[in-house]
Amino acid sequence: MKLVVINPNSTQSMTDKIIASARAVAGHGIEIEGRTAHGAPASIEGHFDEVMCAAHLLREVREAETAGADAIVVACFDDPAIGACREIATGPVLGICEAGIKAASMIATSFSIVTTLPRSVPIIEALVREYGLAHLCRRVRSAEIPVLALEEHGSNTRRLVRDEIRRAVEEDGCEAVVLGCAGMSDLTEWLSRETGVPVIDGVTVATKFAEALVGSGLGTSKFGAYATPNRK
Amino acid sequence: MKLVVINPNSTQSMTDKIIASARAVAGHGIEIEGRTAHGAPASIEGHFDEVMCAAHLLREVREAETAGADAIVVACFDDPAIGACREIATGPVLGICEAGIKAASMIATSFSIVTTLPRSVPIIEALVREYGLAHLCRRVRSAEIPVLALEEHGSNTRRLVRDEIRRAVEEDGCEAVVLGCAGMSDLTEWLSRETGVPVIDGVTVATKFAEALVGSGLGTSKFGAYATPNRK
Amino acid sequence: MKLVVINPNSTQSMTDKIIASARAVAGHGIEIEGRTAHGAPASIEGHFDEVMCAAHLLREVREAETAGADAIVVACFDDPAIGACREIATGPVLGICEAGIKAASMIATSFSIVTTLPRSVPIIEALVREYGLAHLCRRVRSAEIPVLALEEHGSNTRRLVRDEIRRAVEEDGCEAVVLGCAGMSDLTEWLSRETGVPVIDGVTVATKFAEALVGSGLGTSKFGAYATPNRK
Amino acid sequence: MKLVVINPNSTQSMTDKIIASARAVAGHGIEIEGRTAHGAPASIEGHFDEVMCAAHLLREVREAETAGADAIVVACFDDPAIGACREIATGPVLGICEAGIKAASMIATSFSIVTTLPRSVPIIEALVREYGLAHLCRRVRSAEIPVLALEEHGSNTRRLVRDEIRRAVEEDGCEAVVLGCAGMSDLTEWLSRETGVPVIDGVTVATKFAEALVGSGLGTSKFGAYATPNRK
Amino acid sequence: MKLVVINPNSTQSMTDKIIASARAVAGHGIEIEGRTAHGAPASIEGHFDEVMCAAHLLREVREAETAGADAIVVACFDDPAIGACREIATGPVLGICEAGIKAASMIATSFSIVTTLPRSVPIIEALVREYGLAHLCRRVRSAEIPVLALEEHGSNTRRLVRDEIRRAVEEDGCEAVVLGCAGMSDLTEWLSRETGVPVIDGVTVATKFAEALVGSGLGTSKFGAYATPNRK
Amino acid sequence: MKLVVINPNSTQSMTDKIIASARAVAGHGIEIEGRTAHGAPASIEGHFDEVMCAAHLLREVREAETAGADAIVVACFDDPAIGACREIATGPVLGICEAGIKAASMIATSFSIVTTLPRSVPIIEALVREYGLAHLCRRVRSAEIPVLALEEHGSNTRRLVRDEIRRAVEEDGCEAVVLGCAGMSDLTEWLSRETGVPVIDGVTVATKFAEALVGSGLGTSKFGAYATPNRK
């Protein structure tokens, strides 16, 4: 089985991190292929960046399909262009927000999300509503850090994320925390240890859920909204 | 006041139709400027087409801003990339789905939507949910016609749309009908006459609502999700 | 076009203020006629006042209809008796709560409302739910001032409203604020300048939206709930 | 204990019917006092009629309070002016829609409502939403009869209601049916026998629930929205 | 009429308290029979305890049915196994959470709930959602006391409950408070006096509502989900 | 990794079928252990059966924990006692309804469910609401077959299920179908082939999702509702 994990922004160091997370959990005999949306913005911080990444992301999906991908993970917490990806894919396509919060809902009765910048909060809140889990989401929080600060060595971002998780537990009374950015993927284990609460990384669970769907014989439904795009 | 109405697909005849609808209702002294997303697909039928149009649409928004647009209407019923448009605009930006259904909710206690292809139905249903009007929307219906068939002279598309509106009134018990495609804009008057029920064209009401917001001194809020995109 | 703006309470100074706001934004050639619900309570603070105003409001609607009103604005944030007004009107009828929050939802992803007395908070919350925008409304707040205090010169009400707006921005993280009383209409510009955030006055946007609906050729649907009342 | 049951329209025969239903179930030692909103329209068919009844209804509530009412039932399925009644009452005030559907939700997992005219359907749907039971309400149906036809001897209205209940059971798969008009109160037993399904009369259950609340030592909360109206 | 009130845990002192509350409000000629689910855990604190009580509770329901119960109250705020009880009962079956919050919604526009342990909060939140009253429930609060502490004389639990109610009123702005544990039943009057706000005891209102449903001629619907269990 | 799949009823042939489905998809090196809730009813058809199974199910969960289970699947579509199972488990616990519909929501924009008896329909509808996917669930349908008929050789149950799936596709316009009973697990492949639409078996996807959660390093959160039961 071949799972393709696409970083929809153009920052290679983020792709490397994401791939490492996916490979760390991939099942026996499963190939993880990483792809970077070269040409896209360096990070996705808002709707505009999402759009500027989307066509590059779709190009990678097409190439992944051609190269025999069994499933695709889109590794950005805004779940950009997931519907479009599903239209051109045959296997399952998973965004890390959807995977992260659905995993949270399987192990806890409530969760909070900790993301990077405040401007992403309403975007994630809208996703949580559409995925149907607003009643379990205590709060979407921002650690007030730009996405690319997560790539800088020696920065104090990991401490800021940890402190925000601790506030989530204390103030929201949540039972689990979902990391709201693919760039936090490498911090998951450290954050779990530091905070004691289950910390969920969307990249990890999206990889495993994609594997699970393929293993269940399921691909994207071609009946209706996700049918192959019409020729003009 | 200058309102820019953008057709996010590349079909010029559709732009012409849309502009005509907007000009027909524009207030005294209001300039309507039409723009076509050249380079985009010829029509938007699904998520993939939306993405392939989006960057072209944003280019037109940027140019409209530079040319002094007071407000922008995006004339496709999927309301593609509205969040991104709002991030780079200063005045209000309105999609025709949002405008159409909010207008419907001001003159009726329920409405149905008649769109082109079945594959657009779930996309519109998700929009209606996020705009908060699912409880008033009796049904999203498809007339089973490709978008570009609306551009062909001598086709029977207008009759298919009319018949679907009649079914909506009879079967759904709706009090108004919203046209679910910008390409139906020129049929509004005829459809109203033929069916007797209020038929709402999103292009028309989006134009007037945009004018209304500007006239009220309102632009897109730059606090939060619609703030100008971050520099990387 | 003739728009009739009705103050459903009997305080003339409030009517004057409302009319001034409506006239300030009315389009070219649009006549704004003000009406006061003489005989009604001096202000609307709760359900009981709403009922005691309603028959007087309907009398004004009937007279406005006879006098050729193209559209009607009901200038009280509780949107009293809107359904009944729509039954006896042919043109559109807009309440200022509905107009205010729908305008907010077009320029921001979230908003808070600042009203007068705490007792109005649950009434407005119920309206926001029924209009379908509860998911975007961060909080309905009260500045703890009686409605008629807004009519007293030299009072510190405008400062109380401003301070509550500042708290809304800071504590709720909202992107826009809707004024929750017609009597705050004259403060809009000052409040916007003082707070920096988009401040939305329902009287203003209801006037412009009513104009927009008429300009789009739309009146109240007479199919169903808003049909002319049955003769007994 | 004294329960006052108010018919908010002016048709005495309907009051008589309602009082008979209330008396038939009143507990030991409970006095049922009937009141008619003289001066109100002869029936309530839509929002306009609701408003035209409301001030008369409130007058009856005030008089009932003065005369020592322990609780009040408003016997119209539109639950007109309930909030206002609660502001001026000290004991509990119950509408028959609220009582009817909450009773249904205690004995069944789903219900349908059968009302008189189609124009009342959206009004009742909005009530069901606000009372929070839309997820259990299969459908609000109309038997297509004017309210006052229920007062005519020899009419076939009871058969029309019965047939609509049978359709509700068969088509909606509902487990109980709520009668959507106070004027159907005298038919409850016959309809239950004819259809076999639990048929719920709002007048009956509102009477008993009002008695239950008083018996539990509860009155209308005077903290917040239902506080006594402010003096001007 | 015979109402059976079942304590689904095995603590007799709690049964005694519950029965006293029910008897204090029972109508003329109504027999209240108390039952204890002997063999069940001593208290219900979470899902596991609910399950361990359920079969014992059902045994008591069966016996109550055989002994001619007209209605049944299940006196635990988690409303354990209510669906199952309804399948094997002919009369109405009421849980005290459902009764308590529905009573609250009849006398106030909002309420908060004060329960015992934090772990019960998400369970009650889920019940409130399913009963359709989440929009009126300001907050579910825990007084941080184990259920059985309510049975200990000389403990300060009543003061802890009172203080939590006071915080609910102040911080949540709620108009009524529902007691979230059957074991608080005997404190209702004292808590009402101390806090001034309407304090609602589920045992009391469930008893009266059960009486009301029976008095209205209603039993559990045997059409659908609550039909008698199938024989295997 | 050891996954324990528990059949909460006592029918061994159903356990065998379930285990076969789980083993068919289990990843490399994953041990699937089947367990039957001996002593429980032979099938779960309604709330009563759920309760009568629950204590037996919990006993099996306890034993599975002792025997080192890494995760547990509860193979009944009513997801009985999942909260209680989670309280006494350390690894993830998944019900097949939750897994089935969450899988459906990852590959399609809408789904219908086909279950056995009509009485299970409202139970499943309530689950779908609580899991947050009611907006994507077109309809819960019953094939009108008792659960145990699925165990009889030579019966026409598989054809009845197939025909109901075809009706779901045609009438509901759904994009995927979820099988609403563990006993249909062995039919999945045949039903997919016969109907062409993605047919989702909850046993299969629950097994794979459980494996995915464990592989992601996640267990049931012990913060809050799913903490280990309190000692009395």
The yes-or-no verdict on residue A142 having pLDDT over 90 is: yes
- In this predicted structure, what is the pLDDT of residue B153? 80
Percentages (nearest 5) of helix, strand, coil residues in chain E: 50, 15, 35
The nearest CA of chain C is from the CA of B124 a distance in Å of 16
CA neighbor of F208 nearest in space, from A205, E167, D170: A205
- Residue A2 CB contacts under 8 Å (≥ 6 apart), including other chains: A30, A31, A33, A67, A68, A69, A70
Tokens of D39: 């001066």
pLDDT of residue D176: 98
Q: Do at least 3 CB pairs under 8 Å connect E with F?
A: yes
Strands A2-7 and A31-36 turn out to be parallel
For residue range B69-127, list pLDDT tens digits in order.
Answer: 999 999 999 999 999 999 999 999 999 999 999 999 999 999 999 999 999 999 999 99
The span from the CA of A129 to the CA of D106, in Å, is 29
Cβ of B224 and A119 within 8 Å? yes
Q: Report the residue of chain D nearest B174, measured CA to CA.
A: D122
- Predicted local confidence at residue B155, as pLDDT: 78
Residues of F in contact with D135 (CB under 8 A): 129, 134
pLDDT of residue D154 exceeding 90: no
First to last CA, chain A: 33
For residue C220, give every residue at least 6 positions away whose Cβ sits within 8 Å of its Cβ, in sequence order, or none.
B107, B108, C86, C89, C90, C91, C92, C93, C226
Contact D118, B173 (CB under 8 A): yes
Q: Specify the pLDDT at position E155.
A: 78
Q: What's the rounded Cα separation, in Å, for the pair C162 and C169?
A: 11
B134: closest CA of chain F, how far (Å): 10
Strand, coil or helix: what is E148?
helix
Of 1.10.20.60, 3.40.50.12500, 3.10.450.50, 3.30.565.10, the CATH number of A97-202 is: 3.40.50.12500
Quickly tell me which residue has 């199938």 as its tokens: E230
Task: Reply yes or no on whether the pLDDT at F75 is more than 90.
Answer: yes
**Six token digits for residue D45:** 């068919």
Residues of E with Cβ-Cβ distance to A110 under 8 angstroms:
122
* pLDDT value at B170 more than 90: yes
**Res. F153: pLDDT tops 90:** no
Q: Which of E103, E59, E52 has its CA nearest to residue E84?
A: E59
Q: Do chains E and B touch (3 or more CB pairs under 8 A)?
A: no
Task: With a cut of 80, say whether residue D71 has pLDDT above it.
Answer: yes
Residue with tokens 């007048």, as numbered in its chain: D203
Q: What is the mean pLDDT of residues A155-173?
A: 96
pLDDT of residue C197: 97
- Which residues of C touch chain A, with CB atoms under 8 Å apart? 109-110, 135, 173, 175
List CB contacts (< 8 A) between F103 and chain A. Answer: 212-213, 216, 218
pLDDT at B154 over 90: no
Binding partners of E (≥3 Cβ pairs within 8 A)? A, C, D, F
C-alpha radius of gyration, chain C, whole number: 17
- pLDDT computed for residue A232 by the predictor: 79
pLDDT of chain E, 232 residues: tens digit per residue: 999 999 999 999 999 999 999 999 999 999 999 999 999 999 999 999 999 999 999 999 999 999 999 999 999 999 999 999 999 999 999 999 999 999 999 999 999 999 999 999 999 999 999 999 999 999 999 999 998 999 888 779 999 999 999 999 999 999 999 999 999 999 999 999 999 999 999 999 999 999 999 999 999 999 999 999 998 7
Q: Output the average pLDDT for chain C.
A: 97
Chain B contact set for D137 (CB, 8 A): none
Indicate the Cα dihedral angle F163, F167, F169, F171, nearest 10°.
180
Percent of chain F with pLDDT over 70: 100
Q: Do the two domains F2-95+205-215 and F97-202 of this chain adopt the same fold? A: yes
What is the spatial distance between Cα E121 and Cα E118, in angstroms, rounded to a whole number?
A: 5
For residue A175, list chain E residues with Cβ-Cβ distance below 8 A.
122
Q: Do D87 and C48 touch (CB under 8 A)?
A: yes
Region F18-33 average pLDDT: 96
pLDDT of residue F141: 98
Q: How far is D178 from chain F (nearest CA, A)?
A: 18
Q: Is E223 in Cβ contact with D205 (below 8 Å)?
A: no
The pLDDT confidence band at residue F85, using thresholds 50, 70 and 90, is very high
Q: Is residue F154 scored above 80 in pLDDT?
A: no
Mean pLDDT (whole number) for D52-67? 98
By percentage, how much of chain D surpasses pLDDT 90? 96
Alpha-carbon distance of B169 to B167, in angstroms, equals 5
- Section C118-133 average pLDDT: 98
pLDDT in tens, C35-56: 999 999 999 999 999 999 999 9
Q: How confident is the model at residue D153 (pLDDT cuts 50, 70, 90)?
A: confident
**Residue E153: what pLDDT?**
80
> Which chain F residues are within 8 Å of B118, Cβ to Cβ?
173
Quote the minimal CA–CA distance from D139 to chain E in Å: 16
The fraction of chain C above a pLDDT of 70, given in percent, is 100
pLDDT at E29: 92
Which residues from F are below 8 Å from D when comparing CB atoms? 118, 121-122, 126, 129, 134
**What's the rounded mean pLDDT across residues C66-79?**
98
Whether pLDDT at B144 is above 90 = yes
Whether the pLDDT of residue D232 is over 90: the answer is: no
A interface toward E at CB cutoff 8 Å?
109-110, 135, 173, 175
The per-residue pLDDT for A100 is 98
Domain boundaries, chain F: 2-95+205-215, 97-202
**B24-42 confidence digits (pLDDT tens):** 999 999 999 999 999 999 9
D173–F121: do the CB atoms touch at under 8 Å? yes
Crossing angle for the helix pair A96-107 and A202-215, to the nearest 10 degrees: 90
Q: What is the DSSP letter of D199?
A: E
Write out chain B residues lying below 8 Å of C204, CB-based: 216-217
Report the Cα–Cα distance between both ends of chain F, in Å, rounded: 33
Instruction: Please tell me the class of the C97-201 domain.
Output: alpha beta
CB F79, CB F143: distance < 8 Å: no
* A4-54 pLDDT tens trace: 999 999 999 999 999 999 999 999 999 999 999 999 999 999 999 999 999
CATH topology of domain B2-95+205-215: Rossmann fold (3.40.50)
Task: Count, in order, helices (H) and strands (E) of chain C.
Answer: 8, 8
